[in-house]
Amino acid sequence: MDRTVKALSLLLSYPTEELQTAMPEISGVIASETRLTAAARRDLRPLIDELTGRDIYDLQEQFVMLFDRSRTLSLNLFEHVHGESRDRGGAMVNLLETYRAGGFEPSTSELPDHLPVLLEFLASRSPTEIHDTLSETAHILEAIRSRLVRRGSNYQAVFSAILQLSSGDVDNDAVAQLLEQPEVDPNDLKALDEVWEESEVTFGPDPGAGCPQVRDMLSKIDQSKRSTAAE
């Protein structure tokens, strides 16, 4: 079990009292992780302190306003793929099959492409698979990180840490395309409804078609799945 990847998964999970109870252990894991720079570990401290001591209801409200009411900050990775809504359902099915082939059954109502779910799965995989998968999603992670920095959110440090673990080059053009999507005021319910209606998910036969980054990610995960089955 990669305890650091698991810890980062928990830091991005919906805040609960159970999470607050676990924060001292999570803090210890982060503090001892040599794959992260001292600066990255230090930058995570404000979020850890916030999750440890802040009122749970305030934490939950903040989480919803950031990640649940903004498509551009969605933790569902396939939400960020332009023009691929017709294929997202199929991509999700493939990802779920990959989880199950690896002996992982998500114990949550979240979608398979939810970042904390993906990280929880990767925590049980090899370092190579962790690196390769995170590298393929680096452009999405960087776009979310950049938006969180603009909002002054301590959650940005988690994305910086994940990007360090990926050790991959970020496709700046892909990041720029994602950042072109307009921000929507999370308090503007009408505008939010319009955005989510436009991104309605439908099922299609070719998951990730037209998006090289997501297609490569699914391909590499599928290759790992076949290797595991062969063993």
Rg (CA), the chain: 17
Report the C-alpha dihedral over residues 207, 212, 213, 218, rounded to 10 degrees. Answer: 40
Q: Number of folded domains in the chain?
A: 1
Tokens of residue 41, six digits:
């570990």
Please tell me the distance from the alpha carbon of residue 163 to that of residue 146, in angstroms, as a whole number: 12
Backbone angles phi, psi at 205, to 5 degrees: -85, -10
Greatest Cα-to-Cα distance within the chain, rounded to the nearest angstrom: 52
Q: Helices then strands (H, E): number in the chain?
A: 12, 0
In a domain, 35, yes or no: yes
Contact present, 183 and 66 (Cβ < 8 Å): no
One digit per residue, the tens of pLDDT, for the chain of length 231 reads 999 999 999 999 999 999 999 999 999 999 999 999 999 999 999 999 999 999 999 999 999 999 998 889 999 998 887 445 667 778 888 899 999 999 999 888 899 999 999 999 999 999 999 999 999 999 999 999 999 999 999 999 999 999 999 987 899 999 999 999 887 655 544 544 554 455 444 333 333 433 444 445 555 555 554 454 455
Exposed/middle/buried for residue 26 (C-beta within 10 Å: 0-12, 13-18, 19+):
buried
Give the pLDDT confidence score for residue 208 in this predicted structure: 41
Asked if residues 93 and 221 have their Cβ atoms less than 8 Å apart, the reply is no
d(CA 69, CA 82): 18
Residue 210 confidence (pLDDT): 37
Backbone angles phi, psi at 181, to 5 degrees: -65, 130
Residue 187: what pLDDT?
53
SS3 of residue 70 by DSSP:
coil
Predicted pLDDT of residue 109: 86
**The pLDDT of residue 84:** 53
What is the residue range of 128's domain?
3-204
What's the pLDDT score for residue 90?
Answer: 81
Residue 165 belongs to a domain: yes
The per-residue pLDDT for 212 is 45
Question: What's the rounded Cα separation, in Å, for the pair 222 and 41?
Answer: 32
Does residue 113 lie within any of the structural domains?
A: yes
Q: Give me the phi and psi of 76, to 5 degrees please.
A: -85, 105
Nearest to 204 by CA among 111, 114, 85, 94: 85
Query: Quick one: which of 227, 65, 71, 217 has its CA closest to 151?
Result: 65
Residues 6+ apart with CB under 8 A from 107: none
Residue 216 lies in a domain: no
| Spatial distance between the Cα atoms of 118 and 77, rounded to a whole number of angstroms | 9
pTM: 0.80
- The answer to the question of residue 218 being in a domain is no
CB-side neighbour CA atoms (13 Å) of 130: 24
- Inside any domain, residue 223: no
